[in-house]
Amino acid sequence: MIPQRTKEALDRYVSERIPTGHFLQAVLSNNLREALGRADAENIIALFDIVKYCYNEIPSNCWGSPEAVKAWLEKVKEKPC
């Protein structure tokens, strides 16, 4: 089970392109060593579920490498007409 604050941060990252904290940035960048080093007790237990959520629920072009995360955060959202 993913901590609520962690899921909310992931959802803000996807929907509003708001940067996450260092732990989730490491997860999104596919850096397991960094993620393990930065995880708190709740998130270390939930790490498998967090990665599973990313894999199944968020767009593949916004995570998976540092470059994908950087591009996602830098992409300018189109304004609605």
For tokens 């708190």, name the residue: 40
Distance CA 48, CA 19 (A): 21
**5-56 pLDDT, tens per residue?**
999 999 999 999 999 999 999 999 999 999 999 999 999 999 999 999 999 9
The reported pLDDT for the residue numbered 77 is 58
CA dihedral of 4, 6, 12, 15, whole degrees rounded to 10? -90
* Sign of the alpha-carbon torsion through 54, 64, 12, 78: negative
6, with CB counted inside 10 A (0-12, 13-18, 19+), is buried
